[in-house]
Chains A and B, each alone.
Chain A
Amino acid sequence: MKVLVPVKRVIDYNVKVRVKADQSGVDLANVKMSMNPFDEISVEQAIRMKEAGQVEEIVVVSIGVTKNQETLRTALAMGADRAILVEATDNAENDIEPLAVAKILKGIVEEEQPGLVLLGKQAIDNDANATGQMLSALLGWSQATFASKVEIEGDKATVTREVDGGLQVIKVNMPAIVTVDLRLNEPRYASLPNIMKAKKKPMDTKTPADYGVDVTPRLVTVKVTEPPARQAGVIVGSVEELVDKLKNEAGVI
Chain B
Amino acid sequence: MAVLILADHDNETLNDQTAKSVTAAKAMGGDIHILCAGSGCSGVAAQAAKLDGVAKVLCASDDAYGHDLAEPLADLIVSLAGDYEHLVGGATTTGKNVMPRVAALLDTNMISDISAVESPDTFERPIYAGNAMAVVKCGDPKKVITVRGASFDATGEGGSAAVEEIAAVANPGLSEWVEDKVISSDRPELTSAKIVISGGRGMGSKENFEIIDKVADKLGAAVGASRAAVDSGYAPNDYQVGQTGKVVAPDLYIAVGISGAIQHLAGMKDSKVIVAINKDEEAPIFQVADYGLVADLFDAVPKLEAAL
Expressed in whole angstroms, the minimum distance between the Cβ of A179 and any Cβ of chain B is 9
* A227-B126 in contact (CB<8A): yes
Q: Which of B234-254 contact A (CB under 8 A)?
A: 237-238, 243-244, 246, 251-252
Interface-centre pick from B102, B127, B281, B294 (highest chain A CB count, 10 A): B127
* B175-A232 in contact (CB<8A): no
* A224-B134 in contact (CB<8A): yes
Question: Considering the chains assembled together, what is the distance between the CA atoms of A182 and B67 in angstroms?
Answer: 23
Question: Considering the chains assembled together, what is the distance between the CA atoms of A34 and B274 in angstroms?
Answer: 32
Q: B307 contacts the other chain (Cβ, under 8 Å)?
A: yes
* A164-B92 in contact (CB<8A): yes
Residue interface bits A21-39, CB-to-B below 8 A is 1, else 0: 0000010000000000000
8 Å CB contact of B263 from A13, A17, A163: A13
8 Å CB contact of A171 from B94, B131, B137, B176: B176
Q: A145 contacts the other chain (Cβ, under 8 Å)?
A: yes
* A168-B180 in contact (CB<8A): yes
A134-B104 contact, Cβ under 8 Å, with A125-B128, A252-B273: yes
Expressed in whole angstroms, the minimum distance between the Cβ of B109 and any Cβ of chain A is 4
* A134-B103 in contact (CB<8A): yes
A137-B291 contact, Cβ under 8 Å, with A166-B181, A225-B133: no
B140 / chain A contacts, CB cutoff of 8 Å: 218
* B191-A19 in contact (CB<8A): no
* B246-A164 in contact (CB<8A): yes
* A250-B252 in contact (CB<8A): yes
Which A residue's beta carbon lies closest to that of B178?
A169
Question: Considering the chains assembled together, what is the distance between the CA atoms of A83 and B159 in angstroms?
Answer: 56
Tell me how many residues of B have a C-beta within 8 Å of chain A: 92
Q: B174 contacts the other chain (Cβ, under 8 Å)?
A: yes
Expressed in whole angstroms, the minimum distance between the Cβ of B308 and any Cβ of chain A is 7
Question: Considering the chains assembled together, what is the distance between the CA atoms of A131 and B231 in angstroms?
Answer: 26
B175 / chain A contacts, CB cutoff of 8 Å: 142-144, 170-173
Tell me how many residues of A have a C-beta within 8 Å of chain B: 78
Question: Considering the chains assembled together, what is the distance between the CA atoms of A137 and B105 in angstroms?
Answer: 6
B138 / chain A contacts, CB cutoff of 8 Å: 218-220
Question: Considering the chains assembled together, what is the distance between the CA atoms of A219 and B74 in angstroms?
Answer: 22
8 Å CB contact of B237 from A127, A148, A226: A148
Which A residue's beta carbon lies closest to that of B107?
A99
Question: Considering the chains assembled together, what is the distance between the CA atoms of A183 and B177 in angstroms?
Answer: 21
Question: Considering the chains assembled together, what is the distance between the CA atoms of A253 and B218 in angstroms?
Answer: 10
A253 / chain B contacts, CB cutoff of 8 Å: 195, 219, 252, 308
* A165-B238 in contact (CB<8A): yes
* B243-A158 in contact (CB<8A): no
B252 / chain A contacts, CB cutoff of 8 Å: 246, 250, 252-253
B178 / chain A contacts, CB cutoff of 8 Å: 158, 169-171
Supplied contacts A137-B101, A225-B135, A235-B281, 4 more A-B pairs, CB within 8 Å: A126-B127, A169-B178, A182-B237, A240-B307
Per CB-CB distance, the 7 closest pairs between chain A and chain B, nearest first, are: A134-B104, A130-B100, A142-B174, A133-B100, A137-B104, A233-B290, A166-B182
**13 A-B pairs with C-beta separation under 8 A:** A97-B109, A99-B108, A133-B101, A136-B70, A146-B96, A169-B180, A182-B244, A218-B108, A222-B136, A224-B132, A225-B132, A227-B130, A239-B304
Report which B residues bind A (CB closer than 8 A).
67-71, 74, 92-94, 96-105, 107-113, 122, 125-140, 172-183, 189, 191, 195, 219, 227, 230-231, 237-238, 243-244, 246, 251-252, 262-263, 269, 272-275, 281, 286-295, 300, 303-304, 307-308
